[in-house]
Amino acid sequence: MTVKEWCARAGLTVFCLGNPDAEIKNGYCGDFLSNVISRAPDACAWLTVMNNVNVAAVATLVDCACVVLCEGVAPDEPLAARAKTQNINLLGCSKDVYQTAKMLFEACGV
């Protein structure tokens, strides 16, 4: 499923759609950036509550399909700006990480 398709299906907030046709092939939940760097699979939907500019660097490094800020968290201004310049799919969800992961699994099977 593409990021754009999942956004429409799940009713996610779109902060930036830099590459809407990116394919979601995996999921990863985590807030420790070092763990994300070493463990997140390529083409994943990364679910987190971290909302600073370091998220953009990590998302690019691990080649995430998208980053989903959960629990109603919004990106800070530097993260929003960096997502736009680096074409990062940055989304939001009002649900907690568990419920968002459940939605991802039901929609994409990942």
pLDDT tens sequence across 20-29: 999 999 999 9
The whole-angstrom separation of Cα 72 and Cα 57 is: 21
Q: Which positions of the chain have pLDDT values less than 50? A: none
pLDDT of residue 108: 83
pLDDT of residue 92: 98
Mind listing the domains of the chain with CATH numbers?
3-108 (3.40.1390.20)
In the chain the first and final C-alpha atoms are separated, in Å, by 10
- Kindly give the pairing relationship between strand 13-16 and strand 26-29: unpaired
pLDDT tens sequence across 60-69: 999 999 999 9
Q: Are 54 and 62 in contact (CB under 8 A)?
A: no
H helices present in the chain, as ranges = 3-10, 33-39, 54-62, 77-85, 97-108
pLDDT of residue 109: 79
Residue 86: closest CA among 53, 38, 109, 47: 53
Phi, psi of 6 (to 5 degrees): -65, -40
